[in-house]
């Protein structure tokens, strides 16, 4: 056994191997096709953004931002970061001249390096940073006096005060931006909308995206730390309920196209900034009355975000929650009308739904319409898609007043739910899948033609022939080294090739290739042109 430590994928992330990746590509292709049909254009977004973007839009107090983001300082000044931490942790006392000297030495290093970094533009030249450095310098000068015992007027309390002063100033130094791996993409779409002045584009701006998102959640079936979303957003001046309904229609059309069975749509309206705060206060007041009967999480949420209590899956809390006041009875007239019209617009499109007054969603930016789609075969993580309206989010990020609505499909969950259908998808591209499973085996990585070559000149002919066949759309495998005939045919069979093309000295001399059908070993001798024609057709 090798003693070299094996490196494995990080907890909660995984590889998507062929042939499963073939099914993923199919699903993604279906999204491109369906969304294009509804007039959406693809936006490719960065995987990481300033942390503040997510904090401001998704919300500081949400689980996603508060607990689950992968955040790191985006700068190279690690030495300064370490020095700063070191300084903050040191508490020299006035009777320890050696410790004081060391402390001052570190302050000097911090001041020197930071000043240099500021000048070089490596560190943000903010007024906060400049002020912090001045204060550290002033504190350092006072602390120096304690090193001259006879003339020093500094006593322990004053000394401590200055150390504290230096700590506080050092803590405010920032050496660069904090960035986060994106936990979702709606915030990025809004950022891009503002950055590119998309409000000047005609009509509603309809965008879709797909790609990985990152949340440090506890991994389980259907829940990963790197997961994939396929999402779409509509931004513009109108919040017409027909927009909400058409977005959902598109989603259902997509699910129909990929063959998802049993998708169930739930919808709700969570009101606007006029009516929701009043409802939240009412809910809080009612929750306080039953606080003792609730678990720790819900008790905490009474303070932080009472709406989230409605999300609780704790069995003992269900009967209590059912008796709580419902938002549908507390919507303002505009929100009530909007929601009624959204439902009528869904009916108009023949889309079935269930109203779920407890559907509040976990991100702060939502208002009015919220929806989720569940699918079978997913266990407890059964939401395959979530979305809603977020009028005002663009404004919150510094853009013009804008209405918005969108959704994101959890692609990993969609694939899990489609699993039984993956066999069908794979069959469509000429692949086999293990029944009920899309686990990977070499046999599934199918090729059409395997070229067996023997001798150096045959290799050159094999390479040239493979190029022609591939150009004609045939999947070809050419061994990189010469193989024994029997072994080559065995491998061709295992790879699922239908035919083997045999090139040896005789074939080169005759200018013909031997083609062997692997199912019944029937052989033909064909010229190159005949061969390309024959294989292209099969």
- Residues of this chain that interact with ligand HAM (CB under 6 A) are 184, 186, 215, 217, 222-224, 227, 229, 231, 233, 383-388, 406-408, 410, 412-413
* Cβ closest to ligand HAM, residue 84 vs residue 223: 223
Q: Which residue has the tokens 């804008």?
A: 402
DSSP letter for 76, please: S
Q: How far is the CB of 219 from ligand HAM (least distance, A)?
A: 8
- Whole-angstrom Cα distance, residue 55 to residue 202? 30
By DSSP bridging, strand 499-503 and strand 513-517 are antiparallel
Q: CB under 8 Å to 79, separation ≥6 — which residues? A: 113
Query: Dihedral through CA 156, CA 157, CA 158, CA 163, nearest 10?
Result: 80
Query: Smallest distance, Å, CB 414 to ligand HAM?
Result: 8
Q: Give the residue with the Cβ less far from ligand HAM, 206 or 215.
A: 215
Q: How far is the CB of 224 from ligand HAM (least distance, A)?
A: 4
What does the DSSP 8-state code read for residue 373?
Answer: E
Q: How far is the CB of 278 from ligand HAM (least distance, A)?
A: 24
Least distance (Å) from ligand HAM to the CB of residue 348?
Answer: 22
Q: Which is nearer to ligand HAM, 411 or 444 (CB)?
A: 411
Residues 165/63, Cβ–Cβ less than 8 Å: no
Q: Which of 210/502 has CB closer to ligand HAM?
A: 210
Residue number with the shortest CB distance to ligand HAM?
Answer: 410
* Structure token digits, residue 23: 């099914």
In the complex, minimum distance from the CB of residue 295 to ligand HAM, in angstroms, rounded to a whole number = 22
> Which of 227/513 has CB closer to ligand HAM?
227
Helical pair 241-258 and 411-428, crossing angle rounded to 10 deg: 40
Pairing type for strands 354-355 and 523-526 reads unpaired
Is residue 228 within 8 A of residue 23, CB to CB? The reply is no
Q: Which is closer to ligand HAM, CB of 229 or CB of 423?
A: 229
Query: Which CB atom, from 357 or from 434, has the smaller least distance to ligand HAM?
Result: 357
217 versus 421: smaller Cβ distance to ligand HAM: 217
Minimum Å gap between C-beta 487 and ligand HAM is 43
Number of other residues whose CB lies within 10 A of the CB of residue 259: 14
Q: Which of 178, 169, 197, 196 is nearest to 84 (CA)?
A: 169
DSSP 376-415: TT-TT--EEEEEEE-TTHHHHTTS-S-EEEEEEEEHHHHH
Of the CA atoms within 13 Å of residue 488, those in its CB half-sphere come to: 21
Cβ distance to ligand HAM smaller for residue 22 or 383: 383
Task: Identify whether the C-beta of residue 113 lies closer than 8 Å to the C-beta of residue 79.
Answer: yes
Sign of the C-alpha dihedral computed for residues 118, 123, 129 and 133 taken in this order = negative
Give residues with Cβ within 8 angstroms of 87, minimum separation 6.
103, 106, 107, 110, 166, 167, 170
Separation of alpha carbons 371 and 267, rounded Å? 4
**133 vs 265 by CB, closer to ligand HAM:** 265
Nearer to ligand HAM, 73 or 212 (CB): 212
Output the smallest distance, CB 63 to ligand HAM, in A.
10
What is the closest distance, in whole angstroms, from the C-beta atom of residue 316 to ligand HAM in the complex? 25
| Alpha helices (H) along 308-373 | 318-322, 333-348
Number of H helices and E strands in the chain, helices first, is: 19, 16
Token pair, residue 307, equals: 């709406």
- Alpha-carbon distance of 186 to 28, in angstroms, equals 19
Report, in Å, the least distance between residue 26 CB and ligand HAM: 19
Least distance from ligand HAM to the Cβ atom of residue 215, Å = 5
Cα 367 to Cα 244: distance, rounded to the nearest angstrom: 12
Query: For residues 47 and 94, is the Cβ–Cβ distance under 8 A?
Result: no
Nearer to ligand HAM, 306 or 388 (CB): 388
Please report how close the Cβ of residue 309 comes to ligand HAM at its closest, in angstroms: 18
Cβ of residue 231: shortest distance to ligand HAM, in angstroms?
5
What's the closest the beta carbon of residue 382 comes to ligand HAM, in angstroms?
A: 9
Q: Which is nearer to ligand HAM, 186 or 423 (CB)?
A: 186
| Residues 49 and 194 sit within 8 Å (Cβ to Cβ) | no
Of the two residues 309 and 500, which places its CB atom closer to ligand HAM in the complex? 309
* Radius of gyration, CA atoms only, the chain: 32
d(CA 452, CA 437): 33
């Amino acid at each position: 056994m090798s003693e070299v430590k094996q490196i494995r994928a990080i907890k909660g992330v995984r590889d998507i191997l062929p042939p499963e990746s073939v099914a993923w590509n199919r699903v993604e292709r279906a999204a491109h096709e369906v969304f294009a049909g509804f007039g959406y254009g693809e936006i490719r977004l960065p995987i990481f953004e300033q942390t503040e973007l997510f904090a401001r839009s998704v919300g500081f107090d949400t689980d996603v931002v508060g607990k689950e983001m992968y955040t790191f300082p985006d700068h190279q000044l690690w030495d300064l970061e370490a020095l700063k931490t070191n300084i903050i942790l040191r508490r020299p006392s006035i009777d320890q001249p050696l410790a004081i000297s060391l402390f001052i030495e570190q302050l000097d290093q911090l001041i020197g390096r930071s000043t240099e970094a500021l000048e070089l533009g490596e560190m943000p030249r903010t007024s906060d940073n400049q002020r912090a450095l001045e204060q550290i310098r002033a504190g350092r000068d006072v602390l120096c006096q304690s090193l001259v015992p006879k003339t020093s007027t500094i006593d322990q309390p004053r000394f401590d005060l200055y150390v504290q002063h230096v700590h506080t100033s050092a803590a405010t130094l920032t050496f660069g931006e904090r960035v986060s791996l994106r936990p979702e993409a709606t915030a990025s779409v809004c950022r891009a909308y503002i950055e590119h002045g998309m409000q000047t584009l005609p009509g509603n701006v309809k965008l879709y995206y797909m790609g990985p998102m990152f949340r440090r959640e506890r991994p389980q079936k259907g829940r990963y730390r790197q997961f994939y979303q396929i999402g779409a957003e509509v931004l513009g001046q109108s919040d017409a309920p027909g927009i909400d309904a058409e977005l959902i229609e598109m989603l259902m059309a997509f699910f129909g196209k990929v063959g998802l069975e049993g998708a169930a749509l739930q919808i709700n309206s969570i009101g606007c900034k006029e009516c929701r705060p009043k409802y939240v206060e009412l809910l809080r007041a009612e929750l306080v009355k039953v606080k003792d009967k609730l678990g720790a999480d819900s008790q905490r949420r009474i303070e932080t975000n009472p709406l989230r209590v409605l999300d609780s899956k704790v069995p003992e809390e269900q009967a209590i929650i059912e008796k709580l006041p419902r938002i549908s009875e507390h919507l303002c007239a505009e929100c009530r009308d909007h929601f009624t019209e959204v439902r009528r617009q869904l009916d108009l499109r023949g889309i079935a739904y269930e109203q779920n007054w407890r559907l509040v969603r976990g991100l702060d930016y939502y208002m009015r319409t919220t929806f989720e789609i569940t699918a079978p075969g997913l266990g407890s993580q059964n939401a395959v898609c979530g979305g809603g309206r977020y009028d005002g989010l663009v404004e919150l990020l510094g853009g013009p007043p804008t209405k918005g609505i969108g959704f994101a499909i959890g692609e990993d969950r969609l694939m899990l739910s489609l699993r039984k259908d993956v066999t069908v998808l794979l069959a469509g591209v000429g692949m086999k899948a293990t029944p009920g499973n899309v686990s990977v085996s070499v046999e599934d990585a199918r090729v059409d033609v395997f070229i067996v070559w023997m001798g150096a000149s045959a290799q050159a002919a094999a390479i040239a022939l493979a190029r022609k066949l591939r150009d004609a759309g045939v999947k070809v495998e050419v061994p990189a080294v010469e193989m024994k005939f029997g072994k080559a045919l065995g491998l061709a069979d295992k790879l699922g090739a239908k035919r083997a093309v045999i090139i040896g000295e005789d074939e080169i001399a005759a200018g013909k290739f031997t083609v062997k059908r692997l199912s019944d070993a029937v052989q033909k001798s064909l010229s190159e042109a005949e061969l390309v024609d024959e294989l292209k057709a099969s």
